[in-house]
Structure 1
Amino acid sequence: MTTMTRHARGRGEAFADAFANRVTAANANASPLREHFDELFVTPDAVDELDRVVLQLAVQGKLVAQDAKDETAQILYSRIQADKAYNENHNQLATLPKVSDDEIPFVLPSSWIWARLGDVTNYGTSTRSKNLQFTEDTWVLDLEDIEKESSRLLRKVRLKERHFQSEKNVFSKGDVVYGKLRPYLDKVIVADEDGICSSELVPIRGYGELDSHYLRLTLKRPDFIKYVNQKTYGVKMPRLGTKDARLALIPLPPLVEQHRIVARVEQLFAQTRALREKLVHAQTELERLNKAALAHLLNAETLEEFAERWSFIAENFDTLYVEPAHIAPLRQAILELAVRGKLTRREPEDEPASQLLERIRQEKNKLAQEEKNKSDALPPIQDDEKPFELPAGWEWVRFGEITINRDGERIPLSKEQRETRQGEYDYYGASGVIDKIDDFLFDTPLLLIGEDGANLVNRSTPIAFIADGKYWVNNHAHVLGAIEFDLLRYLEVYINAIDLKPYVTGTAQPKMNQAKMNSIVIALPPLTEHHRIVARVEQLMKLCDALEGKLASAQGERERLTAALLAGIG
């Protein structure tokens, strides 16, 4: 049993087992699901997938047992057709073709039949609000009032709060109201009172005695959603057309079985809601534990404290980390500790950073005199810019003081130009290699830092990285050199460790220009410590890689097993 499931099943409640028993009781192929339940359904997303399987089982006649005493669906369909003929006398709707064998997505129980949505409901014949009178308390339903996928009604708004100008559709209590705009959002409810709704919501009333709640389930089943997604039109505002909606297939069970299916689904969904709530609570608790462990790690003042707190994380790894994404904050904590001097020990023979800084200034002055690299004077660093207390022998400097900027040597090439110049040399952009071309601009290791793009803010990939060999760089990455390669490696760690938002301009298109980058405040260690810091970071990152790989492998195996088991019972 996983840590997440142990949290979810606290207080002695075994609702997960009860739920597994209910799902598997009606399906002989489902016993492996019961056996592996605790391993597979450890996140809210996994439970959502289970909900979809329950729906699919329900409409395939595999969730409840058939009863030979039930009146068949064919007899029900005859009554539906009589009611339809009576009510649609005045409508000029096209006659729908019979369901052909090559359309049928799965086999139904013998007492069921396939029907078209337009044959068993009034889809496409909604009453419009024009010339009708409504009270201030009339329910006015919009698509945004329904939660996607769960179809939970988020709010009820009355006419006195939401006045409208355009025509609306009118619905009655018991009607199914279906969201035809972006139908992949899966918004379907059964109205519990009369009201009016926007034209992107379609009121649907079943003919005869068709159970509205069963009809709602059929419109939420996975194969129906797949069908409507294939039939939508419009790119920005995809919607389901009336013709395709009316042609959609509906698995029609006997009426009393419809009631049993609805009752069983509601029963199971009550269990999944409880399980989901427990798992959400467990995730919240897990995040709290993660943050506390990382905060404890970040507060380590000595190497001994770091080793002790790192050991705590390692010993409790299975409790603290469940998904690969959980490793990212741990990586970030390692980087932050590294650039604060908390991961390495001072050595007596280390020359102070002030001597390195003096050599850098001499080299930069020499380059300026040779007109190879000129830079503007940078303002002195104020006390309120210093984020932490420096270890002995370190210095506060600005980024532009210790780097050699080579942005002027970049040359951007358009995609069309690159297509005619394919070759062996890496072509770098803001987040790394984006192409290969037939020539190079640089043939020495340099530090590249993304100049623009969302990654400056969301940091989905490292923003700073070393380019080696022979390569080309476009104008979306800053190009930096230094008098020592170890300094470049340390700056790679430092830039990836800090928050760059104070140095970024623009929101729609974030950008860190050269002036902003040069003003970044850097904690500069002695040169000999640069190598030790980078080596320690690499060592710890390899451990993170292994942990992340272990979690990714476990997650992949869970997903594979879940898919196989659910396919088997479907």
Structure 2
Amino acid sequence: MNAQDLKNSILQRAIEGKLVPQRKEEGTAKELLAEIRAEKARLVKEKKIKKSKPLPEITDEEKPFDIPASWEWVRLDTVTREIGDIDHKMPQTNPMGNIPFISPKDFTPTGIDFSNAKRIGEDDYNRLARKTTPEKGDIIFPRYGTIGVTRRVITNSKFIVSYSCCTIKMLSNSMDADYIDFVLKSPLITNEIHKYVNKTTQPNVGLKSIKMFLFPLPPLAEQHRIVAKIEEIRPDIDAYDKAQTQLQAIEQRFPDAMKKSLLQYAIEGKLVPQRKEEGTAKDLLVKIRAEKAQLIKEKKIKKTKPLPAITDDEKPFDIPDNWEWVHLDDIVIKDIKRGKSPTYTVKSNILVFAQKCNTKKGYIDLSLAKFLDEEKFKKYPATEYMINDDIIINSTGTGTLGRVGFFQKENLDDVIVPDSHVTIIRTSKNSYARYVFYVLKANQPIFERMGEGSTKQKELRPSSLASFVIPLPPLAEQHRIVAKLEELLPLCQQLAANP
């Protein structure tokens, strides 16, 4: 049960006469009705209110639940001083005016914000104001939009409410205004609204319908005790609400936090055990260097300048003894660089992978790719075509810089080239590209902060990526790490989808 359900349950028990016991000495609602009629008759005689039109009797079929024998079913208009609204004509707003003109948009979660409300002048106020102009203690009841989301007037300052609301004014002697307020917030009134709502272009509830709302009436003393009991338990409800809000926030964060934790455990060597028979990353590096040397000899890649040795200060955490810290450039077989600036056309046989293809949701969407002008295709050597298992890192763009994706295409014959806003990472055959992807994905928050240049166009430089240090396990362990991650990460997605 959430906090709102708990509030509704308590209010429902209150208006069913189940929150506090009945006391014979407090009299009956029938006796109270006589007092209410007498008070309203006096106000009519003093010309402070107009005489209400008779309302239909309440039939047994209308009564939604049983109430104590000492209570009575009445209509809302019976127990209020007056229910009314302003003239439907809109006033002329006046920045220099000093009278707030309130509508539901000025409602806060707990009250009314007068500071940003529209203002009107005295002339409009005098033209629109009636005896139902809001006063302290009254209840403002929206008739359009957020129908029935009431607010209590707690100020003596002069203001007016728009035609989208009505003002419910209280009797001073024979009713507890707080009890009326609680009834108006109860599930009963929600049902009454649904009963009477006009389903037009802008759903609304008419003034006459609001006056017809059913209202369970206890004796006055019992109204006071109901209010006191609700106020007594309100701090507990608020504490429950706060605790539930915190729990929901944790539940919402948990899948993402768990995903980050799994990735971090994986790259620290804590997700799967190390196995002596799988060798060491040092042995693996010998194979990778031999592979790169052969590619250089075949002139398939260029020899790069050696990077400085990795210092202890550059190592962000401890790794197992059989692992090695390496630069990203140490394990790639293609220069780490961006694609070319393309010339687009409406349709062609060549796709251009743009940064938006590397989606925020974490997958590659080639339907977002553009088409390359094939006249310009000759400037792209075959080594620049994107191939399966390439890792893509967005190099520019506020909100997209540093985003890491893993490239796979269904049709191997498709020719796709990267644009100048993405950087391609192509790993050695002696390392597992999927493992490297997860390492880089774990570091995505760091890449997002590594942009250099102006605020409007920060860039993640290829040289910064080339020198980035990553932890390298033996190849067999890389495969085991990926297998374990791909077993557990879907569970995080299930949690996110079904919190």
Give me the TM-score of the superposition, normalised by structure 1: 0.52
CA gap 1:443/1:156 in 2 versus in 1, 3 angstroms: closer
Q: Does 1:57 align with 2:4?
A: no
Query: 394, 410, 416: which one pairs with 2:325?
Result: 394
CA gap 1:335/1:542 in 2 versus in 1, 3 angstroms: same
CA gap 1:99/1:352 in 2 versus in 1, 3 angstroms: farther
1:334 corresponds in structure 2 to: 262
Task: State the SS of the aligned residue for 2:469.
Answer: strand
Query: 278, 285, 288: which one pairs with 1:356?
Result: 288
Question: How far 1:489 sits from its partner (Å)?
Answer: 0.9
1:224 corresponds in structure 2 to: 189
Question: How far 1:395 sits from its partner (Å)?
Answer: 1.8
CA gap 1:547/1:490 in 2 versus in 1, 3 angstroms: closer
Task: State the SS of the aligned residue for 1:394.
Answer: strand
- Between the aligned partners of 1:387 and 1:234, the Cα distance in structure 2 is 66
2:238 corresponds in structure 1 to: 273
- Between the aligned partners of 2:148 and 2:50, the Cα distance in structure 1 is 34
- Between the aligned partners of 2:101 and 2:134, the Cα distance in structure 1 is 10
Instruction: Give CA deviations for 1:226-256 in whole Å, capped at 9, x if unaligned.
Output: 7669959999xx8956548736724231342
CA gap 1:381/1:429 in 2 versus in 1, 3 angstroms: farther
Q: Does 1:501 align with 2:448?
A: yes
Task: State the SS of the aligned residue for 1:204.
Answer: strand
CA gap 1:223/1:354 in 2 versus in 1, 3 angstroms: farther
CA gap 1:332/1:187 in 2 versus in 1, 3 angstroms: farther
1:523 corresponds in structure 2 to: 469
Gaps in structure 1 of 5+ consecutive residues: 1-39, 41-45, 131-136, 288-321, 415-426, 557-570
CA gap 1:261/1:55 in 2 versus in 1, 3 angstroms: same
Alignment of 1:160-199 (within 5 A): 164-165=119-120, 170-178=133-141, 183=146, 186=149, 188-191=151-154, 193-196=156-159, 199=162
2:370 corresponds in structure 1 to: none
Q: Which has the higher helix share?
A: 1
1:124 corresponds in structure 2 to: 84
Question: How far 1:532 sits from its partner (Å)?
Answer: 1.8
- Between the aligned partners of 1:450 and 1:102, the Cα distance in structure 2 is 69
2:371 corresponds in structure 1 to: none
Question: How far 1:139 sits from its partner (Å)?
Answer: 10
- Between the aligned partners of 1:435 and 1:76, the Cα distance in structure 2 is 75
Structure 1 window deviating more from structure 2 (394-403 vs 468-477): it is: 468-477
1:253 corresponds in structure 2 to: 217
CA gap 1:249/1:517 in 2 versus in 1, 3 angstroms: farther
CA gap 1:50/1:323 in 2 versus in 1, 3 angstroms: same
Gaps in structure 2 of 5+ consecutive residues: 92-97, 347-356, 368-384
Instruction: Give CA deviations for 1:153-179 in whole Å, capped at 9, x if unaligned.
Output: 59897xxx9994466775323222446
Superposed CA RMSD in Å reads 6.5
Task: State the SS of the aligned residue for 1:183.
Answer: coil
Instruction: Give CA deviations for 1:332-364 in whole Å, capped at 9, x if unaligned.
Output: 133234335565659446435476367458759
Instruction: Give CA deviations for 1:17-54 in whole Å, capped at 9, x if unaligned.
Output: xxxxxxxxxxxxxxxxxxxxxxx7xxxxx344312221
Question: How far 1:216 sits from its partner (Å)?
Answer: 1.5
Structure 2 counterpart of 1:396, which letter? H
Contact kept, 8 Å, 1:361 with 1:402, in 2: the verdict is no
- Between the aligned partners of 1:102 and 1:517, the Cα distance in structure 2 is 79
The structure whose Rg is larger is 2
Question: How far 1:267 sits from its partner (Å)?
Answer: 1.9
Structure 1 counterpart of 2:64, which letter? F
CA gap 1:429/1:332 in 2 versus in 1, 3 angstroms: closer
Structure 1 counterpart of 2:324, which letter? G
2:28 corresponds in structure 1 to: 70
Question: How far 1:101 sits from its partner (Å)?
Answer: 6.5
Report sequence identity in percent.
Answer: 15
Q: Does 1:215 align with 2:180?
A: yes
Contact kept, 8 Å, 1:211 with 1:255, in 2: the verdict is no
Question: How far 1:213 sits from its partner (Å)?
Answer: 0.9
- Between the aligned partners of 2:436 and 2:6, the Cα distance in structure 1 is 47
CA gap 1:482/1:547 in 2 versus in 1, 3 angstroms: closer
Give me the TM-score of the superposition, normalised by structure 2: 0.58
- Between the aligned partners of 1:224 and 1:435, the Cα distance in structure 2 is 52
Instruction: Give CA deviations for 1:165-217 in whole Å, capped at 9, x if unaligned.
Output: 46677532322244667637945225264543664775421357343212221
Task: State the SS of the aligned residue for 2:435.
Answer: helix
Contact kept, 8 Å, 2:137 with 2:152, in 1: the verdict is no
- Between the aligned partners of 1:406 and 1:64, the Cα distance in structure 2 is 73
CA gap 1:263/1:218 in 2 versus in 1, 3 angstroms: same
Question: How far 1:388 sits from its partner (Å)?
Answer: 2.5
Contact kept, 8 Å, 2:104 with 2:142, in 1: the verdict is yes
CA gap 1:352/1:253 in 2 versus in 1, 3 angstroms: same
